[in-house]
Amino acid sequence: MTTADVVIIGAGVLGASAASRLARDGHRVVVLERGAPGREGSGTTAGNLHVQAVHTRRPGQAVPLDSARFTPLQRAASDLWQDVEDDLDASVELRRSGGFTVAETPAQVRELHDKQAWEHAAGITTEILDGDAARAALPQLGPSVAAATWCPLDGYANPLKVTPAYLADAVRHGAELVPFAPVTGVARDGGGWRVTAGARQVVAPVVIDVAGPWLHRIAALAGITLDLAPVAIQMHATVRSPAGLPHLVQHIGEGLSVKQVSAGNLLVGGGWPARRLDLDGRSDAGVDSMVGNLALAVRILPFVRGLRLLRAWAGPLAATPDEMPVIGEVPGSPGFLVAGGTYAFTFAPLWAETLRRLVAGAEPPVDISDLGPERLMQDLPEKKR
């Protein structure tokens, strides 16, 4: 048995970034990861940095997220992302080259104007271009684009680099990373918690459950019932393309995000459902979503037609029933903190800083009073999955 100040469960982007912040504060941090670090949601995500309001429902999404509530959080995360590479002294292929959210129908164009009000209220600069102006700014856009919101702060970071960079920083500052150590028990121990992972036992006053789509399973080990709605979504990569697509392209009304990564491949996503979610194995990408997502990509960016699809993959998305993030201490379980939910990649630096301050007993950098886990503990008999 060992003791620590903080046990972090899950070495995804949230666990890695939180470990980095807490280790820098001098805490003895142990990170327990069920498999290889950063291989699930954080390793399969698109890597978009969403700064303009996200107002799209992914195909099959039951409820819309509260975009107006999101924008101040996005603004705060955006500011933190700006310094990530300097701060970690590592390249994560961070690119703030801006993004377009396109609209094709009059109703979608109206939505661009609706969301601009929230953006401006949050201090996020965006500009709405008509179709021709959008095509002048990004000539690859197709003829069906009727308008587009331009946000210069949208961007990309390579998720396969971000998590390792945060982990390396955490380890440099004394954190211990234990991969391939699935947690099998979380129990109260005096004033703290005893976390069991195989033969390993760690006792600490603070446990941070950042297990992504397994967040509720870890909480259940501690006797906490949380309602989570994990799904699996899929991504597509084309072969490397010489065509330069400098900006992130999204759709206001349909599931689409397209960008070109540093290696030259185009990544096409948009939250299309995978063939199945398999929390105990590997989720599979499906053909219907692949065909639908690529057809949409070609409609908005016709040059995609000339490429070959190289690879499709699926990953879990740690969604909550209300599609909003969850972060905070679990009521009645002092020292047990959770963080997760949608858009965790964009929010990672913000949630890491928030967790750091919560552990320090300080005021969080943004208002999270309505994002706590208590809302996922209500109406359990009906909502239990």
Partner 1 sequence: MTRHEERDVVIVGGGPAGLAAARRLAAAGLRVTVLDEQPELGGQYFRRPAPEVARVWGEHRPEGRRLVEAVRAAGVECRTGHLVWGVDDDGRTLLVSDPAEHPVRLRGRYVIVATGAYERPFPFPGWQLPGVTTPGFAQHLAAADHTPIGERVLLAGSGPFLLPVACSLLALGVNVAGIAEAGHPYRPGLRALGAVRHPARLRELAGYAARLARARVPLWQDTVVVRADGGERVTSVTLAATAAPTRAVRTVAVDALCVGYGFRPQSDLARMLGCAVRTDPATGDATPVLTASGRSTRDDVYVIGEAAGIGGAPIAAARGLTAALDILAREGHDVPAAELRRPARAGRRLERFKKLTDALYPAPAELARLLPATLPDAATLCRCEAVTAGEVRRVARTTAGDVNATKAWTRAGMGPCQGRECGFAVSAVARTSPDVFPSRLPVRPVPVTTLLEMARTEATRTEVAPTEATRAGAARPEAARPEPVGPEPAGEGEAA
Contact residues for partner 1 (CB under 8 A)?
35-39, 43, 160, 164, 167, 177, 179-180, 238-239, 263, 275-276, 282, 284-288, 290-292, 294-295, 298, 304-313
Give CA–CA dist 214/228, Å, rounded: 9
Residue 221 or residue 237: which is nearer to partner 1 going by CB? 237
In the complex, least distance from residue 5 CB atom to partner 1, rounded to whole angstroms: 23
- 197, two tokens: 């992972």
In the complex, least distance from residue 233 CB atom to partner 1, rounded to whole angstroms: 13
Residue 99 or residue 286: which is nearer to partner 1 going by CB? 286
DSSP 241-307: -SS---SEEEESSSS-EEEE-TTSEEEEES-PBPSB--SSS-PBP-HHHHHHHHHHHHHHSGGGGGS
Residue 47 or residue 365: which is nearer to partner 1 going by CB? 47
**142 with 304: CB under 8 angstroms?**
no
CA neighbours within 13 Å on the CB side: how many for 43? 14
CA neighbours within 13 Å on the CB side: how many for 213? 23
In the complex, least distance from residue 118 CB atom to partner 1, rounded to whole angstroms: 34
Residue 146 or residue 298: which is nearer to partner 1 going by CB? 298
In the complex, least distance from residue 31 CB atom to partner 1, rounded to whole angstroms: 11
Phi, psi of 207 (to 5 degrees): -120, 130
* Cα–Cα nearest to 157, from 248, 39, 244: 248
In the complex, least distance from residue 276 CB atom to partner 1, rounded to whole angstroms: 5
In the complex, least distance from residue 24 CB atom to partner 1, rounded to whole angstroms: 20
Residue 35 or residue 123: which is nearer to partner 1 going by CB? 35
Residue 43 or residue 325: which is nearer to partner 1 going by CB? 43
